[in-house]
Amino acid sequence: MQDPSTSASFKLSIVIPMYNEEQGARECVRRVKAVLNSMGCDHEIIFVNDGSVDKTLEYLIDEKSRDEKLRIVDLSRNFGHQAAITAGLDRATGDCVIVIDGDLQDPPEVFPRLVEKWQEGYDVVHARRIKRKGMSFLAHLRAKVYYRIMRAISEIDIPVDVGDFRLISKRVCDNLRQLREKHRYIRGLATWVGYKQTIIEYDREERFAGVPQYTFAKLVHLSMAGLTGFSKFPLRLGVLLGAFCFALCLIFASILMLWPAATASWTPAVIAILFVGALQLVCLGIIGEYLALGLEHHRNRPLYIVQEEY
Ligand code: UDP
Ligand code: MG
């Protein structure tokens, strides 16, 4: 168990997913090491090479030959950011673990602030992006809207504008290792585990080098993992839309009955279409409810996590 008072005698694990980051890999190692050395704590840096097809792995292996605290997990292919982070978390041995992107958009200089919060007793310290340099207006808007939709329909309170840059305690890392669902949304899972959580704020930098490795398709996949993993609202949409159709159907039927002279010849047809449509949507929604139940079982998350036992 963490002992916040023994500030100098803890081990910090850093997990860094890397996919085609050859241009920034060495700079990433340099900056992360500089911060860790200034902090003076024991540490390990776990790079997960997520099937890079450039020289990322070669450079990392070279860096490791000069620093035994570096560890490299080389995945057999590109499994994606969330899977790469998971591979790192599965191997972390520290008292607390920081996950950070390898493109230096998240400044390693924030580490001491994350650790400080952990030492104050927090198990999860999220890092919230205040400014996002070098992001187009549209991408910025897309992120803002997505985080807010998630907050509105999610079953748990996932903080907005928070990505995967965060510190987690050893016990949270152990808990995350138990959650083996395929469509992973780690920021949701890290919130789901509970305990004392807090948020620090930072400015997101531009990439040090290279281009974003998150293609639009990968972004959609991540967003869907968030929506389906933490909200049943999309499944229930059928019932809501069905109710809406029923309401319209009633309005038209009332008009037809109260003011027959005012109604057009198409009104009965519209009522029939709305009625059948509503029936179908409600049935779809009910299937959705059962699907949601099946999903819960399939995910196989533990029913609860014990924080401490006296
Ligand atoms: N990344 C990865 N696998 C992927 C895509 C990205 O490991 O399939 C890594 C990437 O090298 C970087 C981090 O995940 O360290 C975040 O990716 P990126 O910078 O492209 O995302 P963005 O900052 O645009 O959200
Ligand atoms: Mg990035």
The domain containing residue 72 runs over which residues?
4-230
Tell how strand 96-99 and strand 42-49 pair up. Answer: unpaired
Residue 185: band (very low, low, confident or very high) from pLDDT cuts 50, 70, 90: very high
Question: Is residue 218 domain-shared with residue 129, that is, in the same domain?
Answer: yes
Helix ranges (DSSP H) in the chain: 25-39, 56-64, 81-91, 111-119, 137-153, 170-178, 186-192, 216-230, 233-258, 267-299
CATH no. for residue 161? 3.90.550.10
Please indicate, yes or no, if residue 56 is contained in any of the structural domains.
Answer: yes
**When comparing pLDDT for 221 and 91, which is higher?**
91
Question: Is residue 206 domain-shared with residue 244, that is, in the same domain?
Answer: no
Residue 253 three-state SS: helix
Question: Is residue 184 domain-shared with residue 292, that is, in the same domain?
Answer: no
- Of the residues 190, 215, 230, which one is the last residue of a structural domain? 230
Question: Is residue 169 domain-shared with residue 128, that is, in the same domain?
Answer: yes
Question: Is residue 141 domain-shared with residue 215, that is, in the same domain?
Answer: yes
Distance 50 CA to ligand 1 centre (A): 9
Strand order across the 11-18 sheet: 70-74, 42-49, 11-18, 96-99, 162-169, 124-132, 197-204
Please indicate, yes or no, if residue 309 is contained in any of the structural domains.
Answer: no
Ligand nearest to the CA of 85: 1
Query: What are the structure tokens assigned to 66, written together?
Result: 């000069």
Please indicate, yes or no, if residue 310 is contained in any of the structural domains.
Answer: no
- Of the residues 210, 230, 250, which one is the last residue of a structural domain? 230
Residue 108 three-state SS: helix
Please indicate, yes or no, if residue 125 is contained in any of the structural domains.
Answer: yes
Assess whether pLDDT exceeds 80 at residue 146: yes
Q: What is the pLDDT of residues 52-110, one digit of tens each?
A: 999 999 999 999 999 999 999 999 999 999 999 999 999 999 999 999 999 999 999 99
Residue type, 212: P
Distance 20 CA to ligand 2 centre (A): 12
Question: Which atom number of ligand 1 is nearest to the Cα of residue 18?
Answer: 11
Task: With beta carbons less than 8 A apart as the criterion, state whether 18 and 104 touch.
Answer: no
Please indicate, yes or no, if residue 307 is contained in any of the structural domains.
Answer: no
Question: Which atom number of ligand 1 is nearest to the Cα of residue 219?
Answer: 25
Of the residues 46, 55, 76, 81, which should be mutated to test ligand 1's pocket, given the most ligand atoms within 8 Å of the CB? 81
Distance 253 CA to ligand 1 centre (A): 55
Q: What is the pTM of this model?
A: 0.85
Residue 47 three-state SS: strand
Question: Is residue 73 domain-shared with residue 174, that is, in the same domain?
Answer: yes
Q: Report the number of distinct structural domains present in the chain.
A: 2
Residues 6 or more apart whose Cβ sits within 8 Å of residue 176: 86, 89, 168, 186, 189, 190, 193
Residue 19: band (very low, low, confident or very high) from pLDDT cuts 50, 70, 90: very high
Backbone dihedral region for residue 209 (phi beyond 0: left; psi -120 to 50: alpha; all else: beta): beta
Question: Is residue 35 domain-shared with residue 169, that is, in the same domain?
Answer: yes
Contact residues of ligand 1, CB 6 A cut-off: 17-19, 21, 50, 78, 80-81, 84, 101-103, 105, 212-214, 218
Question: Is residue 28 domain-shared with residue 56, that is, in the same domain?
Answer: yes
Of the residues 19, 22, 133, 161, which should be mutated to test ligand 1's pocket, given the most ligand atoms within 8 Å of the CB? 19
